[in-house]
Structure 1
């Protein structure tokens, strides 16, 4: 799209946005809330993919405390709540900051006041919860403390400028992430406050820390800025109380200890996020793939920031990252690939390896393998498992056998991410394709797969 066409497209989108915003000035808030609930219910019924994603994420967080029926109920309630909060968030931008207070209650503001009296800057640890846009539309919860927030600019410059104007009407200063962090740091050192959303997947740049017991890539930006500025971090979130009524909550502060590393503080921060979500599970944005598997390097031993566990969690308590390896068919190739399986098993502290293949006399002696499953088209041997996949869901499948039948087996198990050498038969099914340079008779053939997903080569 050329510059002129792009500018026209942005202009038309901005016009539609403003018309919709103007239309929202007419109905009362309760009507917007109910309309949003209806939209959320329609989305719940129509968007199966996102319904399944929400159910998957909620199961990660609450499988040990909620039944399958309760999880499905929570998914439905979540869609309805998100719809209501989405429409009301748009409506609230048309309401004056003073009138917004008619719709919200506060909890824990005395914690902020005590901190402000000490002259200590504040970092708000915010989440995508409830009508989170309210947090950018209200006046500073602490008198004489200048508000600011980090934001990522929208792709449409006209809508972006309009949204910024709406947020800045309460005196909040918005810092664009792409401009760096010198300005936010100066703002904090001057005694101001800074809001940071801390519940998003940080990709390859994050620290891998448990969130509800499952490792998730987490940004260390908030703890880093707090350590360098001397700021106190406060969990700061909003929950839905009912139709057109919300509560803004401030929890006990998370302080940075000079004796602990930034990674440990980041891990503790995730525990605070858990508490926020548990306070009102329907309000957190479960449609975000928080525990997303990186497309290529999902083994994390090469990551610069690595992983970190808080003091109350051990490696054995982590939810497993289940890896299905579909083994080569020949006995010789199986023997050659054993060392690669060991490399993969050591690539994550939470890795659990299942091998699907033949020759149980080879795989049964490998301690790094948690489970061996005999290929269905061969007779079972005494050392083989019962062949059942029913007790686990796999995060990834790795094809040492790149035949069409192997990739179909991975698909039958519902594996969301498949890695292997591509060919004319399986290209369309493989998510992470590797270019073949060696023969299956060589260990380099299998080691290249391990290296491409993040293993450190010996």
Structure 2
């Protein structure tokens, strides 16, 4: 089947969007690049004011990554700067797509090229570990500034609009870049590397159940194991490359040393994926405002918050213990007593589920298994307690990942909601997970044990 036959047919809305996109490109081409960046920065600033949920995601990510070293005021300033930088990079990427090779070379500086020269001597090809940073259009045209990358290939996620998708593929092809997508299968990019080519792989975003659980900035997340698999199949070195902003209209390529993978770890995908995470940490820490923090790097499941995505059962202990930053869980116990065996057993079960779990109870009584306790007297009003929880959450280096209500009337879920906790789960009511509802429909799966099961504690 030809590539044209594989492409979906364009609809009328696709043509409209394509026309608007091309018109926008033409308008941007009339402006100096500095003006393009300033316009994008202003758009980013406006977005930081309007996109409340997205701003909360950025702030949470930055607290997890830098909460130990930055104050809340620093985090707020970096959040705003991140929106502005992302806006500038986004609009500049559209403008960069129309650049000539000469114009591209005028817009970038290069550092660390010697690391690439060293790896290219092996003639095994190169796996370029790329990240969503800076003007990402330059990543697809890196070979223009780094001729050592030729022949160049990139893994590409097709755009839903087939007209824009075809335009991008044509442009990449005209610049000498081979574009590989899911439609091309897995063996074509491997063959490209084995023939001595370089392949760019974006692997810095959360991969869910399809990835591997590894620490990123000390906190467990799921990253794709694709770079590790490509390395296992080809033996090619993995070289991290990042793009960062120097000034409006000027960017820098930074080539880092190839990952140092010991001989006895060459086939260990978890180990190699963890090394990739460390490489991302290094680049993201050096230029944090250029990172696409709008993505949920440490997503907590909307239905099963306790499930650890990407956990390999054969390496369970190693993966769980590798994290240095805690998975924070708030549990509302209300008037429940530590002498109640069921509640005590389930809290212990929750606490012992993973070594990185930090347990904070909220109620009249404390529990020995908890790391912290927020006293909730019977006389405390709901707004007062909610404020107390919110302040406690703000005082931590990173926010709570989820909150569970162990009471039968879901009173704690309402308080957590007022405290602005993002992920809340209760046994009943509007904060009940669909998985909990499904489990509780089975007569033998009710109670706190079934509640924790439904939230992924045994998944």
TM range (shorter): 0.7 to 0.9
Distance change (3 Å), C-alpha of 1:310 and 1:95: farther
Alignment of 1:310-329 (within 5 A): 315=321, 318-327=324-333
Q: 1:240 to 1:56 in 2, by over 3 A?
A: same
Distance, in Å, in 2 between the alignment partners of 1:316 and 1:267 is 10
Partner in structure 1 of residue 296 of structure 2: 289
**Cα offset for 1:104?**
0.6
Q: Is 1:370 the counterpart of 2:371 in the alignment?
A: yes
In structure 1, distance between residues paired with 2:130 and 2:241: 5
Using the alignment, how far apart are the partners of 2:129 and 2:449 within structure 1? 41
Say if 2:359 is the partner of 1:350: no
- Further displaced range: 324-333 or 34-43: 324-333
Higher helix share: 2
1:53 to 23, 48, 57: 57
Q: Which residue is 1:408 aligned to? A: 414
1:216 and 2:221 are equivalent in the alignment: yes
Q: Residues 316 and 302 of structure 1: is their aligned pair in 2 closer, same or farther, counting only changes over 3 Å?
A: closer
What are structure 2's unaligned runs of at least 5 residues?
1-7, 381-387
8 Å contact 2:261–2:272 — kept in the other structure?
yes
Partners of 2:130 and 2:241 within 8 A in 1: yes
Q: Distance in 1 between matches of 2:303 and 2:421?
A: 15
CA 173–402 in structure 1, closer or farther in 2 if over 3 Å, else same: farther
Contact 1:293 1:395 in 2 (8 A): yes
Q: Distance in 1 between matches of 2:342 and 2:244?
A: 55
Task: Compare 155-164 and 341-350 and name the one that shifted more.
Answer: 341-350
Counterpart contact for 1:112–1:142, Cα < 8 Å: no
C-alpha distance in 2 between matches for 1:6 and 1:143: 38
**Which region of structure 1 is more displaced relative to structure 2, 213-222 or 301-310?**
301-310
**Counterpart position of 1:139:** 143
Local SS of the residue matching 1:164: helix
Q: Number of residues paired by the alignment?
A: 437
Mapped contact 2:320–2:355 kept (Cα < 8 A): no
1:243 paired residue among 229, 240, 248: 248
CA contact (8 A) 1:132 1:237 kept: no
**CA 436–166 in structure 1, closer or farther in 2 if over 3 Å, else same:** closer
1:5 & 1:228 partners in 2: Cα distance?
35
Retained in 1: the 8 A contact 2:403–2:421?
Answer: yes
Whether the 8 Å contact between 1:299 and 1:348 is mirrored in structure 2 is no
Query: 1:116 maps to what in 2?
Result: 120
Q: What's the offset of the Cα at 1:315?
A: 4.1
Aligned with 1:33 (options 34, 37, 42)? 37
**Matched residues in 2 for 1:431 and 1:58: separation?**
28
Show structure 1 runs of 5+ residues with no match.
380-386
Deviation string 1:326-354 (CA, Å, 9 cap, x unpaired) is 23756599422332223322332211122
Alpha carbons 2:321, 2:355 under 8 Å: kept: yes
Mapped pair 1:398 → 2:404:
yes
Map of 2:449 onto structure 1:
447
- 2:343 maps to 337
C-alpha displacement at 1:208, in angstroms? 1.7
Contact 1:300 1:306 survives alignment (8 Å): no
Query: Is contact 1:37-1:81 (8 Å) kept?
Result: yes
Query: Normalised by the size of structure 1, how large is the TM-score?
Result: 0.86
Report the secondary structure of 2:371's partner residue: strand
Q: Give the direction of change, closer, same or farther, for the CA distance of 1:435–1:329 in structure 2 (3 Å limit).
A: farther
**1:226: which partner in 2?**
231
Corresponding residue number in structure 1 for 2:4: none
The separation in 2 between residues aligned to 1:394 and 1:144, in whole angstroms, is 43
Query: Aligned ranges for residues 152-301 of structure 1 at < 5 Å?
Result: 152-177=157-182, 179-260=184-265, 261-300=268-307
Structure 1 equivalent of residue 385 of structure 2: none
**Structure 1: distance between partners of 2:257 and 2:317:** 18
Question: In the alignment, what sits opposite 2:437?
Answer: 435
Partner Cα distance (1:35, 1:110) in 2: 35
CA deviations 1:46-88 (Å, max 9, x no partner) are: 3333223222211211122222222222222222211111111
CA offset digits 1:303-338 (Å, max 9, x no partner): 552697999x99497211111222375659942233
Mapped partners of 1:132, 1:309: distance in 2: 35
Partner of residue 108, structure 2: 104
Compare 288-297 and 240-249 and name the one that shifted more. Answer: 288-297
Change (3 A) 1:209 1:67: same
Question: When the two structures are superposed, what TM-score results if normalisation uses the length of structure 2?
Answer: 0.86
**CA contact 2:332–2:406 (8 Å) conserved in 1:** yes
Query: Partner of 1:382 in structure 2?
Result: none
1:125 aligns with 2:129: yes
CA distance in 1, matches of 2:20, 2:160: 16
Is 411-420 or 330-339 further displaced after alignment? Answer: 330-339
Distance 1:24 1:309 in 2: 51
